[in-house]
């Protein structure tokens, strides 16, 4: 087994990993924001289907 930097005990996150984590959180927030727009406490079918289609890649 190779001793890589990824498996080291005191490993820290890199700036690139933190950047992609931030991108993921922002994108997921935008997708979840679709569910916040209701009309008379009901979701439009189009909004719900858009949410499902955009959420599946995150899953």
Grouped pLDDT means (10 residues each) for the chain, 59 residues: 68 89 91 81 84 85
The verdict on residue 22 lying in a domain is no
Phi, psi values for residue 42, rounded to 5°: -130, 140
pLDDT for res 47: 84
pLDDT for res 3: 59
The verdict on residue 7 lying in a domain is no
pLDDT for res 21: 94
pLDDT for res 19: 96
The verdict on residue 40 lying in a domain is yes
CA 18 – CA 14 distance, rounded (Å): 6
The verdict on residue 44 lying in a domain is yes
The verdict on residue 55 lying in a domain is yes
The verdict on residue 8 lying in a domain is no
Which are the contacts of 58, defined by CB distance < 8 A and separation ≥ 6?
24, 27, 28, 31
Q: Which of 19, 27, 22 is nearest to 56 (CA)?
A: 27
CA 18 – CA 52 distance, rounded (Å): 26
Name the domain count of the chain. 1
CA 39 – CA 18 distance, rounded (Å): 36
């Amino acid at each position: 087994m190779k001793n890589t930097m990824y498996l080291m005990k005191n490993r820290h996150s890199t700036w690139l990993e933190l950047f992609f984590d931030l991108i993921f959180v922002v994108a997921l927030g935008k997708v979840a924001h679709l569910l916040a727009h209701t009309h008379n406490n009901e979701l439009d079918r189009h909004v719900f289907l858009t949410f499902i289609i955009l959420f599946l890649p995150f899953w």
